[in-house]
Structure 1
């Protein structure tokens, strides 16, 4: 059985994160991700099984990194002004490095709201 190389795995995740959230290519294919990472497409599938799984992992990692940066600073006993300044700095740094991550999250929220409203409408207006 082959051993997974964490360096290659991280290289693929970094390339996917760049394509998805720095370039806004949410529908990038596994081949495009492989090309950006400088690896064979089969390696992307070997490490992550599918593009959707890779996308979910990259999004989860990005959100966790932001949360960690926020929590580590906000836990310190500082004044409100410093805390607010830090929150703004973290979000601005993220927006500059990965400008499309917020776009993706807002789009997903709208899709979730639309789906919920549609379900609510259907439940209150039975066909007939």
Structure 2
């Protein structure tokens, strides 16, 4: 694979996952990658083909490793913490990754197949969460709500953190870095309850 081809793909990933520009044009990619649009057409033929190629790479390098933390043999809290830590690595670099997955799911067969397969693997996770609910280790009423909160708390906080940092709001204490450790502790408190 050529250096130019890699630059084009990297520029596309940045447009999608760093900026949330899901309606990008080949002009946007050309400008960001500093590659001529003719060169982009030479390597990828079309915007749709470029997006398909990039989606496959996002799936294999960013999405799969993150979700695989939830299907390992660790105990439930360790799985959740490993997922949160992996999410921090990925979402701090690519805050729009989960929005991208939701937007692309209906049109990407690769994503549909991945999530069909991962849902099969999630049966054990759902069972573990339900057991934690039954043992009153969490105040959640259903595994679905527990997992919905886990996924949204682990990633969307980066989008909103970036949003609030971009606003010119006078704050008593402004932080240049996002404290993931503290955030992960707060998420564990929400999911499992401090008093449990």
Q: TM-score, normalised by structure 1?
A: 0.68
Structure 1 residues without counterparts, runs of 5 or longer: 112-128
CA distance in 1, matches of 2:48, 2:12: 11
Q: What do you get for the CA RMSD once the two structures are aligned?
A: 2.6
CA distance in 2, matches of 1:8, 1:81: 43
CA distance in 2, matches of 1:108, 1:16: 14
Q: TM-score, normalised by structure 2?
A: 0.47
CA apart distance, 1:92: 2.4
Q: Is the 8 A contact 2:66 2:83 kept in 1?
A: no
CA distance in 2, matches of 1:20, 1:102: 11
1:6 to 2, 13, 27: 2
Compared CA separation, residues 109 and 17, structure 1 to 2 (3 A): closer
The count of corresponding residues between Structure 1 and Structure 2 is: 106
CA distance in 1, matches of 2:86, 2:11: 22
Compared CA separation, residues 65 and 35, structure 1 to 2 (3 A): same
Q: For 1:29-57, what per-residue CA distance to the aligned partner results, in whole angstroms no more than 9, with x for missing partners?
A: 11110110011111111111111111121
Structure 1 residues 9-24: aligned runs within 5 Å: 9-24=5-20
Higher relative contact order (CA 8 A, sep 6+): 1
Structure 2 residues without counterparts, runs of 5 or longer: 108-196
